[in-house]
Amino acid sequence: MTAPIVPILPETVALAVEVLAEGGLVAIPTETVYGLAADAANPDAVVSLYEAKGRPRFNPLIAHVSGIEMAMREAVFSPLAARLAGKFWPGPLTLVLPALIGGTVCDLARSGLQTIGLRCPAHPAARILIGEFGRPLVAPSANRSGHVSPTRAEHVAVDLADRINLILDGGPCEVGIESTILAVEGDTATLLRAGAVPSDELEAFIGQPLARASGASITAPGMLKSHYAPKARLRLNIDAPDDGEGYLGFGPASRGGLNLSPSGDLAEAATKLFAMLRALDERFDRIAVAPIPMTGLGEAINDRLARAAHRD
Ligand code: TXA
Ligand code: MG
């Protein structure tokens, strides 16, 4: 089977709903990266999703919801969690909350944890699809486990076309980097993954610094040192490449190779990061990357680059 890539139309969304209801796998656009969606309530569908990605089953999936009402059927929202959802949903913030007994998301999707990751994507097609489906869809990034995340339908096809049923093509993802993941317990918020909502924005909203997860406390391969990895070797914080090395530049001073943002705009850089890494990976065995500031979205960009560069 090779999954067809189809544009988003009422009839292709209806087809996607049908495929998902039968336990199939559908790649969908979100504002961050493409997700590989399956019925969160169907353990067989979730098993085939783990298999298609080659993802270890101890790595839980994010359940995607169409709004707060759907989310409240799955998790216990503390006042802080409700405030965060009210402010940042729909949008690229995932909340890890205590799972509600009697929720529809199956144990396997949560890797048996007593918590659940919930996200309400801002992409209109994703929300319409989840709304029409009527219950949460799990959707990890639609790449083979450990590989660079997909920001275009073609990236999904390269990694997964022979393993899934359908690819909905919504064009390039607007944000380009995954959601920020926050675990919220009572009035404490802990940053599990830097992402598309910068942590300083979250801290300003909450009114206090975020707690940071210590490596040992969380089992989540998105947090593993090596992840988002191209085949090429990466060197980071490099002002000029060596001979024969691909170059991923940033800002007006960078010359040659590809440039994440000639004007030095971090939002533009986030949008282009994964597509440019994939493009350089096709042509080079070694890639040097320019220094990227740590402010705002720079935290998430540097996080992904560090994992892409890491070799165990
Ligand atoms: O932007 C995104 O979040 C994208 C789009 C498709 O929505 N999804 C995404 O999913 O990045 P994935 O599976 O590639 O990364 C989800 C991360 C994993 O590192 C997983 O371990 C963590 O979320 N996660 C999910 N549920 C969790 C839980 N209950 N506790 C701790 N970590 C959790
Ligand atoms: Mg991923």
Q: Evaluate whether residue 71 is within a structural domain.
A: yes
pLDDT digits (tens, 9 = 90+) for 245-269: 999 999 999 988 999 999 999 999 9
Distance CA 208, CA 141 (A): 30
Say how many C-beta atoms besides its own lie within 10 A of residue 309's C-beta: 20
Looking at the domain assignment, is residue 273 inside a domain? yes
Alpha-carbon distance of 83 to 74, in angstroms, equals 17
pLDDT in tens, 13-53: 999 999 999 999 999 999 999 999 999 999 999 999 999 99
Find the 253 Cα to ligand 1 centroid distance in Å: 35
Q: Which atom of ligand 1 is found nearest the CA of 143? A: 14
Hey, which of 25, 62, 116, 120 would you mutate to test ligand 1's pocket, going by the most ligand atoms within 8 Å of its Cβ?
62
**How many Å lie between the centroid of ligand 2 and the Cα of residue 219?**
14
CA of 178 to the centre of ligand 2 (A): 8
- If asked whether residues 146 and 255 sit together in one domain, one would say no
Task: Give ligand 1 pocket residues (Cβ under 6 A).
Answer: 30, 32-33, 35, 59-62, 92, 94, 96, 110, 113, 115-117, 119, 121, 139-141, 178-179, 181, 192, 218, 220-223
Are 155 and 275 contained in the same domain?
no
Verify that 18 and 64 share a domain, yes or no: yes
**Domain span at residue 118?**
5-212
Q: Are residues 97 and 148 in the same domain?
A: yes
Alpha-carbon gap, residue 282 to 232, rounded angstroms: 9
Is residue 37, in this structure, part of any structural domain at all? yes
pTM: 0.94
* Structure tokens that stand for 170 in this block: 């919504």
Q: Is residue 174 in a domain?
A: yes
In a shared domain, residues 61 and 170: yes
174 shares its domain with 300: no
Before 4, cis peptide (omega within 30)?
no
pLDDT of 8 higher than 60: yes
The answer on 241 and 194 residing in a single domain is: no
